[in-house]
Amino acid sequence: MKKIYVYLQYPKLIFADIMYHRYKTDEIDADILTFLPKSKKELIKNKKTYALNYLLLTNVAFRNVFYFRMPKEGYLRIIGRILIPPAEWIEIGPNGGSIKGGLRLLHKASVVIAPHDAGKNFTVAQGATIGSNLGSNGKIGAPVIGDNVFVGANAVVVGNITIGDNVVIGAGSIVTKSIPSNCVVVGNPARIIKRNE
């Protein structure tokens, strides 16, 4: 039954497939690997387009990541977004920041992800907000986030700050100051509760 559903949906996927093959990057391939369930990992070996189509049909959060990786203009994007619309409650990169491969949204719930830059394997849970803030110096800035960072549910990470590599930001934390690498932070305001050296 699932195969019939996929075959019936294929015409909707043609424009997304063309975009993928025309503008394919290592980042989107890493995102596909990150979003793909363990039971479907065999799809990626020689059938990246099949894995892409599976995710576009079954994971609305992945659609937002996919469109974030594609060029922001052009008829392929417009038609693709009409046929396979992204989630309106998920906002990724409105300020033009870059996010390396392996971006993962844990739930299909409201999030805002707008860092200045983010490293690889960046994971965000539902309700999180990552973006700009007016600093005490009167300048607006967005966070720079390292590799292998996890942002918990309903956490807020704002301002011209730096989050190091291998950081876990606990659920509900409010982060307005820089965090060094290899730390776990929680609370409002966020404080380091563990250092992993």
Between strands 174-175 and 111-113, the pairing is unpaired
As a whole number of angstroms, the distance between CA 186 and CA 160 comes to 19
User: Whose structure tokens read 């309903």?
Assistant: 154
* 125 token code pair: 């849970």
- What is the phi/psi pair of residue 89, to 5°? -90, 5
77 touches 58 (CB < 8 A): no
Q: Which of 175, 125, 130, 174 is nearest to 152 (CA)?
A: 125
Which one of the listed residues 12, 24, 81, 107 is annotated catalytic?
107
Degrees to nearest 5, angle at CA 92 with 87 and 98: 150
Question: Does 107 qualify as catalytic in the annotation?
Answer: yes
Residues taking part in catalysis: 107
